[in-house]
Amino acid sequence: MEVRRRNVHTTNKGPRPSVSQIVNELDVFPKLPRECKKSTWSGGLVTILTFCCISWLLIMECRSYLDPPVNYSYELDKSTSGKVKVNIDIVVASPCHDVSMDVVDTSGSSLSDEENIQYLPTSFELSPSARAAFKYRQYIAGALRAKHHTIQHWLWKYASETSVFTDFEVPVVNKKVSDDRNSDACRIVGTLFVKKVGGNIHILFGK
């Protein structure tokens, strides 16, 4: 036998509950009356320590999100097609009309078909500002060799402090030597696109 219950609609004509009353009723942990609470030094200390721990965890999570760790992985380039871009910036203690450069493999064949190399007259002795910049570049290179896993901090995360590596200035062909010094050297600068085989760069005397 099936028993059914009739729905009886009741109306509550009392005042509507406030928002705080609704929230208190929905709370999983009912609030204790104020007269049932007692403040103590130990309880306050535990509350402060808990707040400090939560704040520390929140700060560490934000730092981990803003500055995530970098996982390094290395793999062998199995492709032999295509070319590799190589930037060249060398100063040779000889006039430009007496030096030349070529890139050859172990068999003596030329590796570079697209050369964009410039020979700029310059002075072999560095000016004080150029020497300071060179020392700074040496310092960064030494730090990268000592701790290569920090390269992301040196190059792109803090690029504003290490623009000496991130900014590659293309020199002007008709750039003059400053400070009235003799152009007793040659700056060989540019970009090479070489094949993916073993080879050497030769700086030769004579054209």
Condensed to tens digits (0 to 9), the pLDDT of residues 85-130 reads: 888 888 888 888 888 888 887 777 776 655 678 888 888 887 788 7
Residue given tokens 């002795």 in the structure block: 125
CA distances from 69 to 64, 65, 89, 160, 166 (A): 8, 9, 33, 20, 21
Which stretches of the chain drop beneath a pLDDT of 70?
Answer: 1-14, 23-31, 111-115, 148-182, 207
Q: How far, in Å, CA of 79 to CA of 100, rounded?
A: 31
Alpha carbon distance 182, 162 (integer Å): 31
Phi-psi region of 82 (alpha: psi -120 to 50; beta: other; left: phi over 0): left
Report the share of the chain in percent with pLDDT over 70: 68
DSSP 8-class letter at 43: H
Q: Where are the domains of the chain?
A: 83-205
Q: pTM, whole model, 2 decimals?
A: 0.48
d(CA 204, CA 92): 10
- The span from the CA of 72 to the CA of 79, in Å, is 21
| DSSP H/E element including 117 | strand 112-122
The CA dihedral of 60, 63, 65, 66, to the nearest 10 degrees, is 170
Task: Supply the pLDDT for residue 94.
Answer: 87
